[in-house]
A = this chain, B = another copy of it.
Amino acid sequence: MADGGLSFPTSIGTSDETHIRLLGQDLAADLMGKVGFGELAYWLVAGRRPTPGETRVFEAVLVALADHGFTPTAIAARLTYLSAPESIQGALAAGLLGGGSRFLGVTEDCGRFLHETLRDAGPDPDYDAVALDAVRRAREGKRFVPGLGHPVHKTGDPRTPVLLRIAEEEGLKGPHLRLFEAIGRVHPQVLNRTLPLNGAGVCGAALADLGLPVDLLRGFALLARAAGLLGHLAEERRKPLGMDIYLTVDRNAVYEED
């Protein structure tokens, strides 16, 4: 605590000449080779080591969110790699910057919606009644219910039942997933049509049931996507598409007066 009393407290990590400590553990002796990477990511954010069941649900979420093909974020990363191949960090960052409200925000939006709905509902709720009320209020406020509907998987997102089953198997199907299932059951009464519970939404519900802070759920979607973007950049390196994508746009540009 030199420098006139300056002090920057942290619970993450420190090191000295012979040891590196991370999360209160000896990095080399206790963590390397003994904890998985997903497990460590959970621990870093939650500040506590997850159980094996929590790790399995968490990694299933990361796997579900890692890639969705040629998303706008994957295309942006490939085009940035085309322009600046010497800076892989720039291409990865450009891809992650699309992780905002529209294409990667559903996970966090859904987790937060469920969290706030449950907070208002009080303990031991009747999930179907709470869900019915929440969907009604969303409709009256002309708001979408996050996690409901999918442009491609119109009759059912294949990730949803699988993640629900995994959470059930691990004894981790908590109030957020239960409320999400209830929304799936009751929304046709209000909306007069049946929409699928989508994969991004069920991931948000599962992360919230793991006790992770709802303000940071988008962060996990970004971590998962970082792996997917690396996959795209590795493929771009082997079989480049960026130039074709760029030329497809540029060759079909048409100037028009504003």
Contacts and interface: CB of A to CB of B under 8 A. Distances in A.
Copies of this chain, complex-wide, total: 4
A35 B63 contact: yes
A76 interface: yes
Interface stretch (A98-106, A110-118, A141-149): A98-106
Contact of A102 (B84, B92, B156, B256): B84
B253 A70 contact: yes
Which of A10, A22, A250, A256 has the most CB atoms of chain B within a 10 A radius of its CB? Answer: A10
Interface in A75-95: 75-76, 79-80, 82-94
A11 B96 contact: no
Interface string A15-33: 1111111101011110111
A63 B31 contact: yes
Contacts of A94: 76, 80, 93-94, 97-98
Nearest to A241: B8
A84 B89 contact: yes
A252 interface: yes
Contacts of A92: 96, 219, 222
Contacts of A101: 84-86
Given A2-B4, A59-B36, A252-B1, A99 B84 contact: yes
Contacts of A50: none
Given A8-B245, A32-B162, A45-B231, 9 more contacts: A2-B251, A9-B256, A10-B254, A11-B255, A12-B235, A15-B152, A20-B68, A20-B199, A70-B250
The 6 lowest CB-CB distance pairs between A and B, nearest first, are A84-B100, A44-B231, A4-B4, A83-B98, A93-B93, A28-B158
